[in-house]
């Protein structure tokens, strides 16, 4: 049993300790995770001979985790542990391909017996499951599958995902040319690879044929922007390959997500042995994209209320702001905070508090329009975002919400509770003094604070003339990197009027700025001359403990990210990153700072 690796998922640290003790005594290397999302991150990095999964976990439960693992790594041996099992649940577990189910509390003898009867205990595991794969090296094929999963997991975006897919595919089925047409939401991308320099006319004819076939299969006629055509060759005079092309549709949940057209090399024609491998690989790619899409969707939803969360709000409000700015429309944002919610948690317990939040969210959903966006941004705070519309009247909606809560009775068990709220709101996007989406949120938050300070249970508008209601200015951000091109790139990405970027190329230069000026955010590279970024992070936190920090780096691992978070780093951006990625992280960091300031002022 030496040198075998096991992954254990459970949110109870005592249970994890028991499993670590048992498996290490059995000769396993042990990794642990407290929820399904952490487990998937480890699955993408390492090969495990056995996975032991608890069903009831936060963030992502064991059943969801097992379903994703079964689709991506169908050979994976798994054991389910649960404190409750009924026939319906047992059927769902077995539908995921898992036959070994252990009911808690689990004795070490029971666990030992379960492993002995598994494929792992019999010395087979993944090799047995992969023996049905086409010849040509199951171990090589599995390695390519795993490397594909690892690469896409680390950079879950359409462009790098497709580029990695084509690269790995070349190792399995050598080709002369490959054209991949892919959809991401409503945007179309075209990726083309060739081992020669094809004539432009021949290549364009091949692309037209791919578009025609895609429309035939999907019923959609994609329009590909020039900026989304990615070629790895220059045009020449070589004719397109004469070998018959292979057409491979890549399916999503309910539609064709991509179409691959491949010309195998004459020396490696697609035969009955290699053809299934090609389809397995494409299916694996499709499943990876679906899994990442689902995890991304879950990261935008509040697990308690089912409402969207702060991260989703930032993206939506930024897009709506840009549209409203062009059309000179008016955006409105209501920020709501339940009055006296902490006392309910203290008196009736957190379970009762969760029930109140759930009932409050249901009440709010009944009052907002379908076009409005209702978000839980954390704790007992909600936001209603009203996009540009002819009947944009946040005052009316705010008063209606206020009166509804004043008259509503919340029932939690046998207790009947009354609860009011305070609402702050602000307008922006038209000719108001508010100049950005971030300022719109800050002004609504400022109005909420004023309403709370006045006693709560009221609607408070943000008024520019009020002495404490100045529209916040641009956020000062310090960016540190010894590469002037990176500094220029980040400055361009944050060139909106809501940011004021200061650049520094060394730790000493950055510390001089930090000691002389006030910054809302620090963004730093780790690899800097003379003194590294970790030293800068330590000193920056000593100078301003409330200032959030982001790190940009050429490479990151789970271990390095854990070390950085222990240093107070909110997020790590791996180069290359997109403008949307860095803006989203900056939004989150500034929102985090606003929360800290709010707590500091009571």
Three-class SS state of 257: strand
End-to-end Cα separation, the chain, in angstroms: 57
Alpha-carbon distance 596 to 541, whole Å?
A: 14
Q: Please, where are the H alpha helices in 182-251?
A: 200-218
Strands (E), 146-209: 175-184, 187-194
Alpha-carbon distance 110 to 3, whole Å?
A: 22
Tokens matching residue 79 = 């054991």
Alpha-carbon distance 1 to 29, whole Å?
A: 10
Three-class SS state of 15: helix
Query: Do the Cβ atoms of 81 and 106 come closer than 8 Å?
Result: yes
Q: Among residues 54, 372, 380, 520, which one is catalytic?
A: 380
Alpha-carbon distance 570 to 241, whole Å?
A: 50
Dmax over Cα atoms in the chain, in whole Å? 82
Length of the chain: 602
Alpha-carbon distance 202 to 399, whole Å?
A: 65
**CA torsion angle for 29, 30, 31, 33 (degrees, to 10)?**
170
- Residue 454 burial by Cβ neighbours in a 10 Å radius (0-12, 13-18, 19+): exposed
The question of whether 445 is a catalytic residue gets the answer: no
Q: Which residues are catalytic?
A: 380
């Amino acid at each position: 049993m030496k040198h075998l690796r096991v992954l254990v998922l459970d949110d109870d640290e005592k249970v994890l300790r028991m499993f670590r003790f048992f498996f290490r005594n059995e000769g396993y290397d042990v990794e642990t995770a407290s929820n399904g999302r952490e487990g998937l991150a480890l699955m993408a990095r390492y090969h495990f001979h056995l996975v032991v999964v608890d069903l009831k976990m936060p963030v992502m439960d064991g059943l969801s985790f097992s379903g994703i693992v079964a689709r991506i790594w169908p050979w994976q041996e798994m054991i389910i542990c649960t404190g409750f099992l009924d026939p319906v649940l047992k059927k769902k577990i077995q539908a995921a391909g898992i036959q070994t189910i252990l009911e808690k509390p689990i004795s070490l003898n029971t666990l030992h017996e379960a492993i002995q009867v598994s494929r792992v205990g019999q010395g087979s595991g993944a090799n047995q499951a992969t023996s049905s794969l086409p010849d040509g090296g199951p171990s090589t094929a599995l390695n390519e599958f795993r490397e594909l999963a690892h690469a896409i997991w680390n950079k879950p975006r359409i462009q790098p995902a497709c580029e990695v897919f084509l690269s790995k595919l070349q190792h399995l089925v050598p080709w002369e040319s490959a054209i991949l047409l892919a959809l991401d939401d409503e945007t179309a991308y075209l990726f083309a690879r060739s081992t020669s320099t094809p004539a432009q006319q021949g290549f364009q004819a091949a692309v037209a044929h791919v578009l025609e076939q895609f429309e035939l299969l999907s019923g959609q006629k994609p329009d590909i922007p020039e900026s989304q055509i990615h070629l790895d060759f220059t045009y020449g005079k070589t004719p397109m390959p004469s070998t018959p092309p292979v057409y491979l549709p890549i399916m999503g949940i309910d539609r064709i997500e991509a179409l691959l057209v491949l010309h195998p090399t004459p020396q490696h024609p697609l035969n009955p042995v290699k053809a299934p491998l090609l389809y397995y690989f494409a299916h694996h790619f499709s499943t990876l994209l679906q899994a990442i899409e689902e995890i991304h969707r879950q990261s935008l939803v509040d697990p308690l209320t089912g409402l969207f969360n702060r991260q989703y709000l930032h993206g939506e409000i930024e897009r709506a702001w840009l549209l409203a700015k062009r059309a000179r429309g008016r955006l409105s944002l209501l920020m709501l905070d339940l009055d006296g919610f902490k006392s309910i948690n203290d008196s009736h317990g957190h379970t009762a508090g969760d029930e109140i939040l759930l009932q409050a969210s249901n009440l709010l959903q009944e009052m907002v329009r379908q076009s409005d966006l209702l978000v839980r941004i954390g704790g007992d705070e909600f936001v209603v975002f009203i996009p540009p519309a002819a009947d944009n009247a946040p005052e009316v909606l705010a008063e209606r919400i206020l009166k509804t809560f004043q008259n509503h009775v919340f029932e939690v068990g046998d207790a009947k509770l009354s609860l009011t709220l305070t609402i702050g709101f602000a307008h922006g996007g038209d000719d108001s003094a508010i100049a950005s989406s971030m300022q719109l949120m800050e002004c609504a938050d400022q109005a909420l604070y004023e309403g709370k300070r006045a006693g709560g249970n009221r609607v408070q508008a943000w008024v520019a003339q009020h002495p404490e209601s100045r529209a916040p200015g641009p956020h000062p951000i310090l960016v540190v990197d010894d590469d002037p091109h990176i500094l220029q790139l980040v400055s361009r990405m944050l060139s909106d009027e809501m940011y004021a970027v200061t650049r520094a190329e060394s730790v000493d230069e950055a510390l001089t700025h930090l000691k002389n000026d006030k910054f809302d955010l620090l963004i730093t590279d780790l690899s800097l001359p003379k003194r590294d970024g970790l030293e800068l992070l330590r000193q920056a936190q000593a100078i301003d403990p409330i200032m959030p920090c982001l790190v940009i780096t050429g490479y990151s691992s789970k271990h390095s990210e854990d070390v950085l978070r222990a240093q107070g780093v909110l997020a790590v951006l791996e180069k290359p990153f997109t403008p949307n990625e860095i803006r989203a992280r900056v939004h989150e960091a500034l929102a985090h700072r606003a929360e800290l300031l709010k707590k500091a002022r009571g």
